[in-house]
Amino acid sequence: MRYIFREGNTQDGVIQQLDARVKLVLLIAFILSIALLARPSAVQLAVCLCVLAAIAAAARLAVIQVLRRALLVVPFVGFFSLVVFLSGDGQRAWSILAKSYLSALTVAIVISTTAFPRLVAAARFFRVPAFLVEVMQLIYRYLFVLAAEARVMQTAFAARGGSTGRRALEASAGIIAVLFSRSYEKAAMVYQAMCGRGFSGTLSRAEWRPLRVSDIAILSAGLLLATVVHFISI
């Protein structure tokens, strides 16, 4: 598991204080705009890259770091692009590679400036089923706890000498089984704790204040930018 966005900054900065709903809309609009560039010219791609880098800078993120983090998708996407390249469509391969990097960069900027629970709460605002949103929030909350537990168990296994072959397969299955029963217990404890705090079947809903002028201004500027890229015909 790759901890890509551990050092994001979700507190201060222009982009951070933007309403999460606006950020969700702009995320989709930017990715859509990138996806619809059918045969992008180098200038168009460069403009997208500059816009995204500028946004990262405005969010007071470490721009180089964000750019480098988004590179993590390249090996995986690169393999597929190679397939396209081998099937004889060189230009399409390059554009897929570049566009995938830009999409990854967009997601990286949004996720490192927004708390994830807030982002899915915004999805709830757009009528994503409440139950799905709540499950996502809870998964995200316990994800890192259980991942740390799994890592501890793996270390313990390795420290006791580990093993190879059939035994290793069984041992790994055993690790997962123990992890399961610990998770199961944890779920029961979490439930009791939630009941103690007045849980009645659903989590409390996020409350949204009306959009501020700055939110609306940035929303329209962002949508305009996403469209303008398609005008560039060099």
Interface of this chain with other proteins, residues 182 to 221, rule: CB under 8 A: 183-184, 186-188, 190-191, 194, 199-203
| Binding flag, residue 131, other proteins (CB under 8 A) | yes
Cβ proximity to other proteins: between 202 and 213 the closer is 202
Q: Applying CB under 8 A, which of residues 57, 115, 175, 211 lies at the interface with other proteins? A: 175
Cβ proximity to other proteins: between 64 and 139 the closer is 139
| Binding flag, residue 46, other proteins (CB under 8 A) | no
Cβ proximity to other proteins: between 148 and 212 the closer is 148
Binding map of other proteins across residues 8-27, x = CB under 8 A, - = no contact: -------------------x
Cβ proximity to other proteins: between 129 and 212 the closer is 129
DSSP state of 148: H
User: With contacts defined by CB under 8 A, how many residues of the chain interact with other proteins?
Assistant: 92
Cβ distance 157 to 171 under 8 Å?
Answer: yes
**CA neighbor of 138 nearest in space, from 114, 112, 120:** 120
Cβ distance 212 to 19 under 8 Å?
Answer: yes
User: Looking up tokens 């890509």, which residue turns up?
Assistant: 4
Q: Applying CB under 8 A, which of residues 14, 54, 64, 86 lies at the interface with other proteins? A: 86
Q: What is the rounded distance in angstroms from the CA atom of residue 185 to the CA atom of residue 17?
A: 38
Binding map of other proteins across residues 109-128, x = CB under 8 A, - = no contact: -xx----x--xx-----xx-
| Binding flag, residue 72, other proteins (CB under 8 A) | yes
Q: What is the rounded distance in angstroms from the CA atom of residue 226 to the CA atom of residue 228?
A: 6
| Binding flag, residue 31, other proteins (CB under 8 A) | yes
Cα diameter, the chain: 63
Cβ distance 102 to 52 under 8 Å?
Answer: yes
Report residue 195 as tokens: 């009941």
Smallest distance from the beta carbon of 207 to other proteins, in angstroms? 20
DSSP state of 205: P
Q: Tell me the Cα Rg of the chain.
A: 22
Q: Applying CB under 8 A, which of residues 52, 61, 66, 136 lies at the interface with other proteins? A: 136
DSSP state of 73: G
